[in-house]
């Protein structure tokens, strides 16, 4: 994001020149620089489960019969994301 901050959305993430990324890493070693093309090639779609506001019963009742359904163990999350 322009001006800093964290995001999990690659389309919102700020990109840096190689020199700027290395300078940032030198002053904060937890900020690892990765090439944009490398990251985008390995990106996976995820949905923040905090944005899901229907109960399971409501979600299943409104889904078309041939719809694909995401299944997860109750309380078993990858951070806040459901991944595919």
pLDDT in tens, 34-75: 999 999 999 887 777 676 777 778 888 888 888 887 766 666
**Mean pLDDT score of the chain, rounded to an integer?**
80
pTM of the entire structure?
A: 0.54
Residue 60 CB-density burial (10 A; 0-12 exposed, 13-18 middle, 19+ buried): exposed
d(CA 22, CA 16): 9
């Amino acid at each position: 994001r322009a001006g800093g901050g964290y995001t999990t959305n690659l389309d919102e993430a700020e990109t840096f020149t190689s020199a700027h990324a290395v300078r940032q890493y030198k002053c904060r070693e937890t900020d690892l620089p990765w090439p944009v093309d490398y990251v985008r090639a390995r990106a996976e779609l995820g949905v923040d489960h905090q944005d899901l506001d229907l109960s399971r019963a409501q979600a299943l009742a409104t889904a078309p019969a041939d719809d694909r359904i995401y299944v997860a163990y109750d309380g078993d999350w990858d951070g806040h994301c459901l991944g595919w």
